[in-house]
Structure 1
Amino acid sequence: MYLIDTTDLDIPSLAYTKFIDDICELLICLDSLTQYDSTISITKDSISQLIKQSVFNRNFTKILTSGKLKILLLDLLTKGNIIKKNYNFQKTNYKEILKDYTLLNGYKTNVAEKNFFTYLYSNTLETKYFEQYIQTHNGLTIKDIGNRILLKSSVCPYCNGSYLDNKSYSKDHFLPKANFPLLSIFINNLVLSCGVCNERYKLENYYIPSLHPYIDNINDQFKFTFFEDIEFVIGIVITSPINSQIYKATENYLELFKIKERYNSRNILTNSQEFLGDLRESFLEKCNDKAVNSINDIKIIIQGMITQKIHKLKTRHSTQLFSKLHTDILLQISNNLDEEAESIYFSLFNKFPQNH
């Protein structure tokens, strides 16, 4: 729910862009070859030799001539220019596409693209030759990119409710590879998340406009609230201007990950009540220790404690579960300081203040 700065990955990720560019150039070369010499026929038997005779580096040719990839490449012949055009547009305008789907101008993938690029993602990224290709072009392997992101945030950026580590994270294609296969190895489109968010809620679903944890500070667009009159309930208020694009993007995010429903689950409600109970107990203890005798004294102490706790949470939001929820609970108490202070006054003196 908090923005994760990935600008330090801009240069290392260029190697992945270079790989897609090389595929497009290879397709264009193969197409030109058949146009130049009509006797040349590119088949599953001849394509390996033609790729090996190309000007591309050894690791690249090893990747493209191994396994099923060379067969899937056959179905992309004659499509090199259009793939290059679509890929360059999607990666260059990625942020804008997340806010305005019409920029795609009716783009729809085809079966050949989907088969090739999804296979590339699923079966190639962690192979020796691909990692050597990436490192040759000053990039980071997909594992190293994941580890670098985990150093910035060890909590799921979608739900803020699950820890991530190098053995227990899920790689989510923010724009699904089934719909956007050209972005299957585009680093900004790969979000490290928990398995619940990716594999139970998001799956192949997506909305546009969207909030993206590497682009948007989702935290700023809504706030959690709590109600405890009859039963304890967590609510959500979108703080963006209504009818704005960012308001709709926030609605889409909340719906996609079922945030309200999940935050009203028994476990999270219990966590919230325990946090609130411990908080109020700490208020009472501090006021008792300070021997307060007025409602204003209580308010000053509570506000000081809230300010300290919010500051502490801000420094730990990338490593602490439910930091967004806990911060918003503190802010709600701060906005209702009179009511909270009166409750503490009553606990201390067994009576309500007459005036303050």
Structure 2
Amino acid sequence: MWNLNLESAVNKTTKKLDEFISDFFEWVIINKLTKSPYELEKEIKNCSSKLCKVAQQNPTLRKFMIEFTKSKYKFEILYDYFYQVDKYDEILEQGTKSYSENLQFVKDCFDYFYSNLIENETFLIQYQPNSEMSIKNNFRNAVKSVYRVCPYCDLKEVVHSSDISIDHFLPKSKYPLLSINSTNLIVSCSGCNDRIKRASIYFPIFHPFKHRINENIDLKFNIYLPPYSIKLLPKTMGIVKEQVENYELLFNLNETYSERINILFYELQKLRGKVKKSYIKQRAGRNNKSLIKTLLTMEIEQAIEDKRLLKGKMQFSKLYLDFYNYLLEENILKKQVNYIYFNNRIQ
């Protein structure tokens, strides 16, 4: 949920993908539609570019290069690609459909690029030499150097390979041309991607690279009367309200957060325990609610400072920070002071 600045961390990896796509479309456009498949095969065989060296060893890539070159839609596809890259922010707001969504050979081609080609040894030799890891692994590691928790839910770590998934934010089934575009690739927890979001998308929508999601969402807590719950609410109306509602729907966050409410009960118990210990050290005797309130406020404010330093580095940061601020609301703080006063028998 925290705005992610990944440009410097992932640039070395992603520029290789951008270079490949540029090479691919340049070759497709330069070669004329009127050339026969045999002539195009010959062009690939006699070419010494990185792209052709990969294609010489890869019949599937050769097939797609020829198919794109011979397609009467190739200029429309190229325009569609640059539109999606340049107008990505507008798509997030308006949900502009992809021209290429209905072209099966485009889907097949770019799915092959992501699923197979960029992990191919010949591809790596040409586009990522002197690297011991695949592009996907390099991408995962670059992202982990910047943040360690899922940018979608902020609840699960993205440290171990078994817990990590690379999500196509705009689904590659609907936006195939963005299948290996770095802005569209999000390292997330496997729960958010593989089991909840999958190939869904709703517009307008927040994006972890583009928006400060946490600053537009308030968590509403119900911890006093069952059923206990946590709900996402927009801080403002208009498009932000729609973005928050769609974001919650996309990742099922009301239910996911509510399932963690016991964590907050445990945290509240710890806060009360710390206040009781501090009160006893003060030797203030009984009946001093004012001191209890002061000590509780100090504990909450210190907890806020501690957790603020761990945004994006420790799971549950958003949950804790919003909960602490909720506890500082005057009527909630008063309830907690009364609870400590009447239930802990501070003397």
* TM-score interval, normalised by the smaller of the two chains: 0.7 to 0.9
Q: TM-score, normalised by structure 2?
A: 0.88
Matched residue SS, 1:119: helix
Give the CA deviation at 1:258. Answer: 0.5
Q: Distance in 2 between matches of 1:55 and 1:25?
A: 14
Q: Distance in 2 between matches of 1:286 and 1:339?
A: 19
Q: Distance in 2 between matches of 1:61 and 1:208?
A: 41
Q: Distance in 2 between matches of 1:107 and 1:80?
A: 10
CA contact (8 A) 2:144 2:159 kept: yes
Q: Distance in 2 between matches of 1:284 and 1:305?
A: 11
Q: How does 1:1-356 map to 2 (within 5 A)?
A: 1-9=1-9, 11-12=11-12, 13-31=14-32, 34=34, 40-43=35-38, 47-54=40-47, 56-57=49-50, 60-63=52-55, 65-77=57-69, 78=71, 79-102=73-96, 104=97, 108-135=101-128, 141-168=135-162, 169-231=164-226, 233-242=228-237, 244-265=238-259, 268-292=260-284, 294-335=288-329, 336-347=332-343
Letter in 2 for 1:191: I
Give the CA deviation at 1:116. Answer: 0.4
Matched residue SS, 1:316: coil
Q: Distance in 2 between matches of 1:317 and 1:126?
A: 32
Structure 1 residues 214-236: Cα deviation after superposition (integer angstroms, max 9, x where no partner)? 22122112222322333261222
CA contact (8 A) 1:25 1:80 kept: no
Matched residue SS, 1:31: coil
Letter in 1 for 2:192: C
Q: CA, structure 1 residues 117+344, in 2 after alignment: closer, same or farther (shift >3 Å)?
A: same
Letter in 2 for 1:21: S
Give the CA deviation at 1:98. Answer: 0.7
Q: CA, structure 1 residues 350+297, in 2 after alignment: closer, same or farther (shift >3 Å)?
A: closer
Q: CA, structure 1 residues 106+245, in 2 after alignment: closer, same or farther (shift >3 Å)?
A: farther
Structure 1 residues 70-123: Cα deviation after superposition (integer angstroms, max 9, x where no partner)? 223333223442222211111112122111224x58664411110100111100
**Structure 1 runs not aligned, ≥5 long:** 35-39, 352-356
Q: CA, structure 1 residues 270+10, in 2 after alignment: closer, same or farther (shift >3 Å)?
A: closer
Give the CA deviation at 1:270. Answer: 2.5
Q: Distance in 2 between matches of 1:114 and 1:238?
A: 37
Greater helix share, structure number: 2
CA contact (8 A) 1:73 1:116 kept: no
State the 4+ residue runs in structure 1 displaced beyond 6 angstroms.
Answer: none
Structure 1 residues 305-352: Cα deviation after superposition (integer angstroms, max 9, x where no partner)? 11111111111122322121111111111112222222223345579x
Kindly, what percent of the aligned residue pairs are identical?
26
Q: Distance in 2 between matches of 1:64 and 1:84?
A: 23
**Structure 2 runs not aligned, ≥5 long:** none
Q: How many residues align?
A: 337
Give the CA deviation at 1:55. Answer: 5.5
Q: Distance in 2 between matches of 1:291 and 1:121?
A: 66
Q: Distance in 1 between matches of 2:320 and 2:88?
A: 32
Q: CA, structure 1 residues 166+228, in 2 after alignment: closer, same or farther (shift >3 Å)?
A: closer
CA contact (8 A) 2:216 2:236 kept: no
Q: TM-score, normalised by structure 1?
A: 0.86
